[in-house]
Amino acid sequence: MMKTITITAILLTAIGLSACKRMNHDMDNEDMGMNLNINYSAAYVVNGQDASVSVIDLSKNVVTETIPLMGNDGKMMMWPHHIYKSPTSNNLSIAIPGTDLSAGHVGGMPNMNGMVTVLDGQKGSMIKNLELPAMNHNAVFSPDGKEIWTSQMETEGKVLVYDAQSYMLKKVINVGKEPAEVTFSANGTKAYVANGGNDNVMVINPITKERVATIPVGDNPVAAWVGQDNKMYVDNEDGQSVSVIDVISNTVVQTIVLGFMPGSVAHNAFKNELWVTDPDNGKVHYWTFNSGTNTWVYGNAFSTGPGAHAIAFTKDGGTAYVTNQLAKNVSVIDASNHTKIKDITVGTKPNGILIINN
């Protein structure tokens, strides 16, 4: 999603509720495909190039299932990306931008469509394929589970809000240029949209859908990753920094200079640490919080694998799972001492990861 990205907005010249209520080729709202029984604690790993989801049993650290992601035409989906879970059901949402973002958020072609696919996380079956007018970066459920929010990565950026039951378009929110990840604060009171083309993060009230604030950050922000400490952590891809946003005041309270292009940021509340992936060097760097100065202080780094990207912690914060996009695997890390337990082979170009505790 760098400054050079160009995505022609032909299909959104007059985007409106009536035009986008339901795309003609959307799948009917019914379970289709697999009928698994994933009733154990698991990590769900999105394999971008293979268009599949690898399911890892956390008690064994082995892949137990592979769920193919197929489009409405019966062909495999193009480059599925990040994955989120509904807070009120087993449903999972996956964004399908249609292009490889593993080398950075640059790309996109004129008239490129995006997609949101919804899976039953326990059965592994596909519930819905929702076609979008333009490419998207992620699709996230609202804190009450009633909506799905997804960005449109265009010069005149938008966030589309869909009903999570009927999949009808409820709202179009105009945001900034080339918006990428849409996220919510831990308390669910605010939504955040990283506008890469404007170097800012837009804050939105999830109830009214009105903009609350626009916060300047670093060069080419990709996402405001949620912290459990009333903070949001913005990875600035071109700026090679992390902007720390205070949820209450809507201000940047610290800028962490990295010296490398970040892949993603993850807050471990149990360890009081901030982890940032370093894809070009195959590492994860971590910071510890200094309560005396109220700032994050650099700790150290450890190796995972080429293309280190997304991080997910177990419920107790004791174990981390890191996707390595260029290694076709997921590294299992002991968070207490930052050592690798093992690598788990998954699909090609794994990116998004989600842990569900059962």
- Distance, in Å, from the CA atom of 86 to the CA atom of 82, rounded to the nearest integer, reads 14
- Does residue 158 lie within any of the structural domains? yes
Within this chain, do residues 61 and 185 fall inside the same structural domain, yes or no?
Answer: yes
* Residue 274: closest CA among 338, 356, 326: 338
pLDDT score, position 6: 36
| Same-domain pairing of 246 and 294 | no
Question: Residue 25 — very low, low, confident or very high, per pLDDT cuts 50/70/90?
Answer: very low
| pLDDT for position 208 | 98
Taking alpha carbons only, the member of 123, 184, 128, 175 closest to residue 151 is: 175
Q: What are the DSSP calls for 18-48, one per residue? A: HHHSS-TTPPPSS-BS------S-EEEEEET
Asked whether residue 3 is domain-assigned, the answer is: no
Q: Is 1 contained in some domain?
A: no
Asked whether residue 234 is assigned to any structural domain, the reply reads yes
Mean pLDDT value of segment 171-192? 98
Q: How many residues does the chain have?
A: 358
Among 10-14, 199-203, 330-334, name the one with the lowest average pLDDT.
Answer: 10-14
Q: 3-state DSSP: the chain helix, strand, coil percent, rounded to 5?
A: 0, 45, 50
Predicted pLDDT of residue 358:
85
Share of the chain above pLDDT 70, in %: 89
pLDDT, position 58: 98
- What is the domain extent for residue 156? 10-252+348-356
Task: State whether 324 and 183 are in the same domain.
Answer: no
- 267 and 210 share one domain: no
Together in a domain, 221 and 279: no
When pLDDT is averaged across residues 222-240 and rounded to a whole number, the result is 98
Res. 11: pLDDT tops 50: no
Same domain, 229 and 306: no
**293 falls within a domain:** yes
User: In this model, does residue 16 exceed pLDDT 50?
Assistant: no
Q: Are 205 and 244 in contact (CB under 8 A)?
A: no
Q: Side-chain half-sphere of 162: how many Cα atoms within 13 Å?
A: 26
pTM over 0.85: yes
Q: Which pLDDT tens digit goes with each residue over 274-301?
A: 999 999 999 999 999 999 999 999 999 9
pLDDT value, residue 101: 82
* Residue 2 is assigned to a structural domain of this protein: no
Are 352 and 342 found together in one domain?
no
What is the average per-residue pLDDT within 252-277?
A: 98
Q: What percent of the chain has pLDDT over 90?
A: 83
- If asked whether residues 41 and 83 sit together in one domain, one would say yes
| 95-139 pLDDT tens trace | 999 888 877 665 455 578 999 999 999 999 999 999 999 999 999
98/212 same-domain check: yes
Which is it for the CA torsion 302, 305, 308, 313, positive or negative?
A: negative
Whether 4 maps to a domain, the answer reads no
In this structure, are 352 and 337 located in the same domain? no
Are 150 and 25 contacting, i.e. CB atoms less than 8 angstroms apart? Answer: no
What is the tally of structural domains in the chain?
A: 2
Contact, 94 vs 350, CB < 8 A? no
Domain at 285, CATH number? 2.40.10.500
- pLDDT score for 270: 94
Q: How far apart are CA 224 and CA 233, in angstroms?
A: 5
Chain-centre distance for alpha carbon 274: 17
> What is the predicted pLDDT for the residue at 9?
35
- Mean pLDDT, the chain, integer: 91
Average pLDDT over residues 258-270: 98
* Tens digits of residue pLDDT in 52-81: 999 999 999 999 999 999 887 778 888 999
Residue 103 CB: number of other CB atoms within 10 A? 13
- Examine the pLDDT at 330 and tell me if it is beyond 60: yes
| Whether residues 126 and 15 fall in one domain | yes
Tell me what the mean pLDDT of segment 328-333 comes to: 99
Flag whether 5 is in a domain: no
B/e letters for 227-247, b = 16+ CB within 10 Å, e = fewer, are bebebbbbbbbbbbbbbbbeb
CATH assignment of the domain containing 131: 2.130.10.10
User: Does one domain contain both 55 and 129?
Assistant: yes
Would the CA dihedral through 301, 302, 306, 311 be positive or negative? negative
